[in-house]
Structure 1
Amino acid sequence: MNWFLNHYFDEGPGIPKDAPRPEGLRLLASTFGREWWELLKLNLLFLAFCLPVVTLPAAYYAMVRISLTMIEDRNVYLWRDFWSAFRSRFWMTTALGILFAGGEALALLAARTYAQASLDQIAFSAPLAVSVTVAVLLPLYAAHLFVARALGEDRSFSGLAKAAAIGLLARPLPGIAALGFVALLWLAHILFYPASALLPVLVNFSLGALVTSFAVLEGVRHGLSVTGPALNPKQQEDRKQSAEFPIRRMK
């Protein structure tokens, strides 16, 4: 028994101070290996907050915030960080979620309609291709925008929207690959059901958010660097007041 306790509470091998930080897929694997238990708890927390359904966008944003914290290897205080992110951006993320969900539904409906029509007339193939492209780009842009919002807390929304668009155009392939990985997760759940019945409860949502956030992170950082340190409305008002009343502020 003493041997077991000594082994359990003994310090691990640690990480050498001069060890290079992993990059690429090694960084993703390292993050998952280090945070797998927190990811399981994060998945359950996300499901609990999604029960009213309308809270799903805010819960997803909170999950993205924590995923970025894990990728950056910072301390995660699961409940505190999740609740803070969920509450701070609830209305904005809810509005964005409704907007993106409506756009995605319209794009899928258009794709279905044009697919049926193209069977009779080849001319409908062009609008079919456009609607399919929009159906793919909308969730991809949403992923970029949520990550941009999490990284650029001091930025205006217009600046974040521009940075997300630049990041998507600059690095579209990693995001597409991440969406493909998420689709494979759910495909495995469907194909191996009922043996895979616990996959959504245990890992599908949190692992999907981690992989997607990791995939779009570099593109979003590039977009934020290109757009520059844009000011949010409050900062713009403060700067305007400083310009109008410089003497009073100096006093």
Structure 2
Amino acid sequence: MNWVANFYFREGPGIDKDAPKPEGLRLLGAILVREWWDLLRLNVLFIAACLPLVTVPAAYSAAVSVCVAMIEDRNVYLWRDFWAAFRSGFWLATVGGAVFAAAAVLAWVAIPAYAAEAKHNLVFAAPFALAVMVSVLLPLAASSFFVSLAKTEGPEAKVQALGLVIRIAALAVLARPLPGLAALGVVAGLWLAHILFYPVSVFLPVLVNFSLGALLMSFAMLKGVELGCSRTARDS
């Protein structure tokens, strides 16, 4: 049976030190292959942290923090890292989530109201178009905001740099909106599949939808956030 032991314990092929680092979709695929088990566990942990409902923004912020660590290929200690990010960013994430939720509600109320008025008066076509644009950009701005929080270490630093975080998030959306829109489309497709194939797809949210959505949005917005960080560093 030595051949079994030799086969099982033999060294793997390793990674060529001169091989180029994967980028784009290849990098995303590598992350999914490497982190699939932690993504499943992160999904369950996120759902458990959301049960009080008021903790949803802080739980999402913590999930984004873990996802950013995965993207940057840092060591992830899921339980410790999630709860550390949850505690340190609780208040800022909660306030930010409340602001984005209120803005989304206002946009969703304004869209049908302005659409009805625009049928009779073209003057209302401009605010209708603005409300539609805001409703599309809000998820990108929220994702960029939470990624910016994840890139800021420590609760004191986050409080002091809140204005800077907001500025970085806005620059990220303006600099790279297309990757965010593509990721948003994939996330919407995941939830649409859950609805269309229900009840067969009943376990999709429990297994993957939340953590995979956070990973996709974080992956899409991270480059923009890094560009925003470099831009604000040059300006300062």
- TM superposition score normalised by structure 2: 0.91
Tell me how far apart the structure 1 counterparts of residues 47 and 6 of structure 2 sit (CA, whole Å): 37
Asked whether 1:72 is paired with 2:72, we answer yes
SS in 1 for 2:13: coil
Deviations 1:110-167 (A, max 9, x none): 1122223334444432221111111111121111111111113346111111111111
Tell me how far apart the structure 1 counterparts of residues 4 and 112 of structure 2 sit (CA, whole Å): 60
Deviations 1:42-100 (A, max 9, x none): 00000000001100000001100110111111111000000000001101111111111
Tell me how far apart the structure 2 counterparts of residues 209 and 157 of structure 1 sit (CA, whole Å): 21
- Contact preservation (8 Å) 1:39, 1:206: yes
Spell out the pairing of 1:1-251 with structure 2 (5 A cutoff).
Answer: 10-153=10-153, 154=157, 156-228=161-233
- Output the amino acid matched with 1:216: M
Which runs of 5 or more residues in structure 2 are unaligned? none
Which runs of 5 or more residues in structure 1 are unaligned? 232-251
Cα distance, 1:202–1:121 mapped onto 2, change above 3 Å: same
Deviations 1:192-215 (A, max 9, x none): 111111110000010010010000
Q: Over aligned residue pairs, what C-alpha RMSD do you find?
A: 2.1
- Contact preservation (8 Å) 1:59, 1:86: yes
Query: Identical aligned pairs, as a percentage?
Result: 59
SS in 2 for 1:228: helix
Tell me how far apart the structure 1 counterparts of residues 121 and 8 of structure 2 sit (CA, whole Å): 69
- Contact preservation (8 Å) 1:159, 1:230: no
Q: Tell me the number of residue pairs that the alignment of Structure 1 and Structure 2 aligns.
A: 231
Deviations 1:7-45 (A, max 9, x none): 555543332222211001110111011101110000000
Deviations 1:161-193 (A, max 9, x none): 111111111111111111111111101111111
